[in-house]
Structure 1
Amino acid sequence: MTLLSRFLGLARDVIVASVFGAGGHADAFFVAFKIPNFLRRLFAEGAFAQAFVPVLSEYRTQRDLNAVQLLVNRVAGTLGITLLMITLAAMMAAPLLAALFAPGFYLADDERFPLAAEMLRITFPYLLLISLTAFCGAILNSYERFAIPAFTPVILNVCLIGAALWISPMMDPPIMGMAWGVFLAGVMQLLFQLPFLARLRLLPRPTPGWKDEGVQRIMKLMVPALFGVSVAQINLLLDTVLASFLQNGSVSWLYYSDRLVELPLGVFGIAIATVILPALSRNHAEKSPQRFAATLDWALRMILLIGLPAALALIVLAEPMIATLFHYGQMQDRDVLMAGMSLKAYAIGLLAFMLIKVLATGYFSRQDMKTPVRIAIWAMAANMVFNLILVWPLDHVGLALATSLSAFLNAAMLLHGLRKVDVLQWQPGWSKVLIRNGLANVAMLAFLIFFRNSTDAWLQMGLWQRIEQMVLLVMGGMLVYLCVQFIMGLRLRHLRA
């Protein structure tokens, strides 16, 4: 389901790039969408989910269904009221938020700033709607109902595709149709999940519960988790702030390249972290450190198995992928080259982005929020330093590279912390895993480099020729990688936790 969602997200971005390109209007929409989307990841999928799931898992393990229902009701009421107040305040202060998160638009005094502020008033309620959707999804995940929350983003992508093709032509300017598509998606995603909660007999009946013991525990865990789980998103938002000062199109180039990195990150990195969080939380509640360590070790092996070849392939095939997916309509040759450079910089950090998702889960499942916060602060400070050093010589590429470098620092510190308290214990067989992965990645790289055409050749190809060549490269690279893995001893049993 996550794979389907991500591929539809890719189709959405292809259509948006074709219709709107990488100009000023596209920049304004991406800012108006990124602000509530960033806060959604921060509050909902990030801090809230990581604080809520361990507490809910504990209630499920140690208490009856009535206690779980009461917790769900009070969390829904408290979360709903809080987000409603934030949403109303943000809609009234939309120009201020646009100036804060895209100061370059404001100082340039062109059409991008008022357009971004106007669209932000339409898109910001998405935060309220999608946060409640994520709350429902966290309950379903806790009960091992992973498919429905994973499928829900498909609705967002369908709505935005529909908005680009059918709503935008009726709007003036057309880009406003995309903002209404975001709002519609939030409503439909929330309504979609409610029947599945009803089947579990956990349909929320929102009741404010500020003084409830479970709610207070979640809030205490959530505050530090705001930093701990969402450093990568904060760094990406800082990239947008600085990119608003750069040449026209910089925000869009970073957006398109980030979207390609998000494909493997979401399909595998976030999906694995989502699946192991309830299991790790139960292992901790049941005081089973051996199973906890084994589950975490398995997740790291899966990240290495998938994340490293994905990162290397994105680096080698950056411009061909951008050209194949986005080089149509309003997307120009220069846009492909610029987005390709930032894609390479983001891809360098893909393995670290994935590791952060899994390693942070090792802390949150144990209700340890303070350690990831300290690490997150160091990583954010490092990212800002890297940004200031790299943005001037490398422009938007420097922003992407800074994010990748800070992600490696974050992942290394998280790993060291888990090893220090002996929560992460390496299971037997790692030397074979490293040798097998190393040889398979070298073979895959050799195949891709040998058969890849030049960037100029890709820009001259027609649509179907690009698709044919890309399919051959991707499928061939995967086949070479998997064959070497199999020859070196990888079997299906190694993929099971």
Structure 2
Amino acid sequence: MSALESSPEESNSAVRPSGFARAASLVGLGIFSSRTVGLARDIITASLIGTTAAASAFSIAFTIPNLFRRLLGEGALAAGLVPFFAEELAKGNPRNAWSKAGKVLSVAALILLLLTLAGMLICWIGTGLTVPGTRLYMVFAYAFGLLAYMPMICLVGLSMGLLNACGHFFVPAFTPILLNASWILAGLLICPFLPKTPYHQAWGLVIGILAGGVIQLAVQIPILLKHGWRPRWEPHWRDPFVRNVFRLAAPAVIGLSVTQVNVVVDRTLAGYLSEYAASALFYAERLIYLPLGLVGTALGTVALPSMSRLFSKGDRTGMARIFERGLGLVLFWTLPAAVGLYWLGPEIVALIYEHGSFDQSSTAHVVWALRFYVPGLLAFSALKVIIPAFYAMKDTTTPVRVAWVALLLNLVLNLILMQWLEHGGLALATSVSAWV
């Protein structure tokens, strides 16, 4: 058994400060593998739908399940659950910890089911009120299909947070590869049998995403069982543990909601700018997510359970060491990546995306957005370590206050900068607000 994968009896040990970099390296390797496969996925996606109206509609619709994944999956709810779960593990009672976590999972599943049904109803009504073939119609249509992915990926995110708290990083780190692989297979095996229009090709990708959600959830279940989770339907709203988790998560939900509102605002304004703007932002973000995931996300994934455990034990010195180590690694790895993306952006975009429906004009649109995302890369990565530090201390209100300031600044800058820089202005506004 790897030193980074603990048994149920040892799961209260989590990750010691001395093993922080090693654990982050394992997570980073998983993210690197996923991002590498993700690049192949993006190449296929760009070849099939390019920067067309269907591509923009698809990218907008896909932000909906991703939004809730960040809120009720690996984001806010995990920020409320993991510190309490790690605290229970630190007490040496994993059975009790899993019992309480199971109740939270039950409540989360119920909420997600209700949200999914409500969202599908709205999308069904929306398709009836819009003209077929228009961008808005396609957004409603794709969102209707992708909403089924939402509960699966949110539960996957929560499961990954719990396994990380147990010191098991391998499976959670490599699970996202399954979504990308399913997406690629859909592009290669399903899309060729669909009509060749971008609208129909995107539906093949929707099928791949749904299959990927099922596979990711199925892979997590055996590992959860191995670590002590027992499937029970216990949506007990009034349980003290459940109430504490949701009480801690509530400010984080608000804070992350503000962050996601920024994304929705950017996509909406991009839709008004041009047919290609939203998809250009999407492809540029995919390139930014590669170093962001390898560095920021990897460090943040390991930092939250590690700092939560140390904080619950009163070891402020150990927690500070992990925090400082994380920020140091962010600075060391992110700066060279930012320089490389800025200067080699045109070559990178052309090499990865310029195939099929993605032509030279598409490359120019994506590079324009990428140039303005790059200045925010260091801030994006640092926040992946800074915010978990607040969550580990069970302080979810401070990030909310900062997020509100960033939202207002982003909105004002969007409206100003888009007048001169078009969709590049939206990217620059996001970068500037991240530094706040």
Give the count of matched residue pairs.
403
CA positional deviation for 1:170: 2.6
Distance 1:321 1:176 in 2: 27
> Could you tell me how far 1:46 is from its partner in structure 2?
1.1
1:136 alignment partner in structure 2: 159
Q: Report if the CA contact (8 A) 1:57-1:282 is conserved.
A: yes
In structure 2, the CA distance between the partners of 1:348 and 1:68, relative to structure 1 (3 Å rule), is: same
Mark the structure with the bigger radius of gyration: 1
Q: How far, CA to CA, are the matches of 1:287 and 1:40 in structure 2?
A: 31
Specify the SS of the correspondent of 1:245. Answer: helix
The residue correspondences of 1:49-60 to structure 2 (distance < 5 A) are 49-60=78-89
| Aligned CA distance change for structure 1 residues 126 and 58 (closer, same or farther; 3 Å) | same
Measured in 1, the distance between the counterparts of 2:38 and 2:50 equals 16
Cα separation, 2, equivalents of 1:210 and 1:44: 18
Alpha carbons 1:254, 1:396 under 8 Å: kept: yes
Query: Which of 138, 155, 160 in structure 2 is aligned with 1:115?
Result: 138
How far is 1:59 from its partner? 1.1
Is 1:87 the equivalent of 2:116?
yes
Q: TM-score if structure 1 supplies the norm length?
A: 0.78
Answer with 344-353 or 41-50: which moved more: 41-50
Q: Which amino acid aligns with 1:124?
A: L
Tell me which of 276, 284, 290 is aligned to 1:257.
284
Alpha-carbon distance between aligned partners in 2 of 1:272 and 1:217, rounded to the nearest angstrom: 26
Deviations 1:436-480 (A, max 9, x none): xxxxxxxxxxxxxxxxxxxxxxxxxxxxxxxxxxxxxxxxxxxxx
Please state how far the C-alpha of 1:124 moved relative to its aligned partner: 0.5
Q: Secondary structure at the match of 2:387?
A: helix
Q: Say whether the 8 Å CA contact 1:229–1:360 is kept in structure 2.
A: no
Cα–Cα, structure 1 residues 168 and 121, in superposed 2: closer, same or farther, change >3 Å?
same
| Aligned partner letter, 1:220 | R
The Cα of 1:227 is off from its aligned counterpart by: 3.5
Name the aligned partner's letter for residue 332 of structure 1. Answer: D
In structure 2, relative to structure 1, the CA distance for the partners of 1:227 and 1:311 (3 Å cut) is: farther
Partner SS, residue 244 of structure 1:
helix
What residue number does 2:420 align with? 393
Q: Name which of structure 1's ranges 130-139 and 163-172 shifts more when overlaid on structure 2.
A: 163-172
C-alpha distance in structure 2 between counterparts of 1:242 and 1:109, whole Å: 22
Measure the CA separation in 1 of the matches of 2:313 and 2:202: 52
Name the counterpart of 1:6. Answer: 35
Match of 2:188 among 165, 168, 173: 165
Task: Write the distance in 1 (CA, Å) between the matches of 2:44 and 2:73.
Answer: 27
CA shift in 2, pair 1:204/1:266, >3 Å: farther
Shift of 1:237: 2.4
Following the alignment from structure 1 to structure 2, what is the Cα–Cα distance between the partners of residues 204 and 136? Answer: 12
Q: 1:156 aligned to 179, 186, 204, which one?
A: 179
The aligned amino acid for 2:190 is I
Q: Distance in 2 between matches of 1:98 and 1:336?
A: 31
Which residue matches 1:367?
A: 394
Structure 2, unmatched stretches of 5+, are 1-29
Pairwise mapping of residues 87-236 of structure 1 onto structure 2 (< 5 A)?
87-94=116-123, 110-172=133-195, 173-229=200-256, 232-236=259-263
Structure 1 residue 177: Cα displacement: 1.0
> Relative to structure 1, is the Cα distance of residues 328 and 315 closer, same or farther in structure 2, using a 3 angstrom cutoff?
same
CA distance in 1, matches of 2:126, 2:169: 35
Partner Cα separation in structure 2 for residue 154 and residue 137 of structure 1: 14
Alignment RMSD: 1.8
Aligned to 2:269: 242
Q: Matches of 2:424 and 2:109 in 1, distance apart?
A: 39
* 2:23 aligned partner: none
Q: Percent same amino acid among aligned pairs?
A: 35
Report the Cα offset of residue 229 of structure 1: 4.6
| Residue aligned with 1:175, SS | helix
Give the structure 1 partner of residue 55 of structure 2: 26
- How far does residue 42 in structure 1 lie from its aligned partner after superposition? 2.3
Q: Secondary structure at the match of 1:328?
A: coil
CA deviation digits over 1:84-114, x for unaligned, max 9? 0000000110167799xxxxx97x9853222
Question: 1:332 and 1:291 mapped to 2: Cα distance?
Answer: 51
Contact 2:72 2:154 (8 Å CA) reproduced: yes
- Residue from 26, 39, 46 that aligns with 2:75: 46
Counterpart check, 1:283 vs 2:306: no
Q: Distance in 2 between matches of 1:364 and 1:403?
A: 23
1:313 alignment partner AA: G
Equivalents in 2 of 1:229, 1:147: separation in Å?
26
Output the CA distance in 2 between the equivalents of 1:386 and 1:243.
Answer: 14
Amino acid in structure 2 at the alignment position of 1:310 = A
For structure 1, which runs of at least 5 residues remain unmatched after alignment? 100-104, 410-497
> Aligned partners of 1:145 and 1:314: how far apart in 2?
32
Using CA pairs under 8 Å that are at least 6 residues apart, name the structure with larger relative contact order, 1 or 2: 2
Q: Tell me, in whole angstroms, the C-alpha distance in 2 between the residues paired with 1:113 and 1:204.
A: 40
Aligned equivalents of 2:355, 2:73: Cα separation in 1: 35
Q: TM-score, normalising length from structure 2?
A: 0.89
Taking a change above 3 Å as real, the CA distance of residues 236 and 97 of structure 1, as seen in their structure-2 partners, is: farther
Distance in 1 (alpha carbons) for counterparts of 2:96 and 2:210: 34
1:272 and 2:295 equivalent? no
Letter aligned with residue 399 of structure 1? L
Cα offsets for 1:29-67 (capped at 9, x unmatched)? 112212111221222111011111101001111252331
Contact 2:326/2:385 (<8 A) preserved: yes
- How far is 1:203 from its partner? 3.7
Cα distance in structure 1, aligned partners of 2:124 and 2:345: 35
